[in-house]
A and B are shown apart, each in its own frame.
Chain A
Amino acid sequence: KAGVTQTPRYLIKTRGQQVTLSCSPISGHRSVSWYQQTPGQGLQFLFEYFSETQRNKGNFPGRFSGRQFSNSRSEMNVSTLELGDSALYLCASSLLASRTNTGELFFGEGSRLTVL
């Protein structure tokens, strides 16, 4: 069974540009979450999508957005990039649909974004 696939793995952008990251969850997983990981802030929750609907959103500015498609694949977009957006962006999929329990999260390898 294929794992969570994230593309691209690495990318370099300059300030002011925008970026789109893609995530393909494990087959059958309908929940996709996005996290930002930085050395100083650890793993910060961005948002979660389930059946094409955003279920939860973290405390990030509106420049960070996402969506989920009918096949459960998800994309996140960051507009007007800032230096502080440099981070590893992790996508995780899960099977459980409980209101209070995500169940086990399966993480992808991440997309490492560098903003110059």
Chain B
Amino acid sequence: GQQVMQIPQYQHVQEGEDFTTYCNSSTTLSNIQWYKQRPGGHPVFLIQLVKSGEVKKQKRLTFQFGEAKKNSSLHITATQTTDVGTYFCAASGSARQLTFGSGTQLTVLP
């Protein structure tokens, strides 16, 4: 089945520093979604990327979809303590099934 590799697994940053998590697939993706899961919570949808080379921004968050539609990244500028949580990418290939990356657990130190 389809596999999506996500790195890093953990990231500790000082408040105010930037943060980036990456997802990579060996196959071309139909689309990719990003979710955030707060500690003790459930995943919450952030965004979906569909087009090759697509870049979308949500305030301090920037999402990119690679030109070959095989990789994606989420970048947070000037992290805040409210950004704490695990960020997951989730990808669809030729089928409808979403495959989740292993997640990046972000810790923000005040």
Contacts and interface: CB of A to CB of B under 8 A. Distances in A.
Given A104-B33, A106-B45, A110-B42, A99 B88 contact: no
Chain A, interface size: which category?
20 to 34
B6 to A, nearest CB: 9
Contacts of A35: 100
A90 B42 contact: yes
B103 interface: yes
A45 interface: yes
Interface in B19-61: 30-31, 33, 35, 41-45, 48, 50
A95 to B, nearest CB: 12
Interface of B: 1, 30-31, 33, 35, 41-45, 48, 50, 88, 90, 92-103
Interface of A: 33, 35, 42-45, 48, 55-56, 58-59, 90, 92, 98-110
24 contacts: A33-B98, A42-B88, A43-B43, A43-B88, A44-B100, A48-B96, A48-B97, A55-B96, A56-B96, A100-B30, A100-B96, A101-B30, A101-B31, A102-B92, A102-B96, A102-B98, A103-B48, A104-B33, A105-B33, A105-B90, A106-B45, A107-B42, A109-B41, A109-B42
